[in-house]
Amino acid sequence: MTPIDLLGLVAIILVARVALSLRPVTVASNGRSIAIAKEYLDPFIYAGLAAWLLITYVGRTYYIPSESMVPTLKVHDVLLVDKIGYRFHPPHEGDIVVFPPPIPTPDDFIKRVIGLPGERFRITKGVVYINGVPLAEPYIAEKPNYDLKVENYGIQVNDGYGWHPLDPSAANIPPKSAWTAPDTIPPNCYLMFGDNRNDSEDSHIWGFAQNTGTFQSGPRTGERAGFTGRAFVIFWPLNQMTILR
């Protein structure tokens, strides 16, 4: 995921336009250049501050560079991401979330929340089961070609070569002390998957994403974790504008 400051640019343009329309340009004869500079500079200072507040605390636009969320999100789509909601409530199953993954990368990832803290979780023959109940997933491109289960304080994956646990040195698998049960997703941890299941670098490779705290294992151990926000609108292209769940 690549952030683009479209909202910030819009804020600068709108605030500057309003400010310029409201401020009369009055110039003293002995300080003409200074007065003109001040009259035109002040609105952009206010606009810059408004843009910073907007993209830091309210929302931001992101550009989709890969096919990991096809068919829901396509390459070149531009999304609006809500950065406020998760300050008041935890992520919900099905949310499409922007977040820093527990692997070294300069960019945030975007995936769908599938497994929540405290749930029993498995994927068997392409079907997701949460607490033993199959999950309807009309949004995926195709069923995954691997099986997965949360078991024995870890994530076990069968990719056609037998079952093996994800390695805590390469994936975010919290230590046993952070789990409440050996076969349920630990607190503050989420299983995140791309809708294009067989072409997505997600939880079946790098383990749990975390909404708070620091990554507890893997190559980014000790680095700050936390969700950036929830994608809620495909903003561009305009003819495909869509409200996301």
Provide the β-strand partners of residue 61: 4, 80
Tell me whether strands 163-165 and 133-134 are parallel, antiparallel or unpaired.
unpaired
Specify the DSSP element, H or E, that contains 129.
strand 127-130
Catalytic residues: 68, 111
Strands (E), the chain: 2-4, 59-63, 78-82, 96-99, 109-115, 121-124, 127-130, 133-134, 147-151, 154-158, 163-165, 189-193, 209-210, 229-236, 242-243
Token code pair at residue 57: 């605390």
Provide the β-strand partners of residue 110: 98
Provide the β-strand partners of residue 127: 124
Q: Give the three-state DSSP class for 162.
A: coil
Rounded Cα distance, 94 and 24, in Å: 51
Contact by Cβ (8 Å): 200, 64: no
Contact by Cβ (8 Å): 147, 204: no
Rounded Cα distance, 223 and 231, in Å: 24
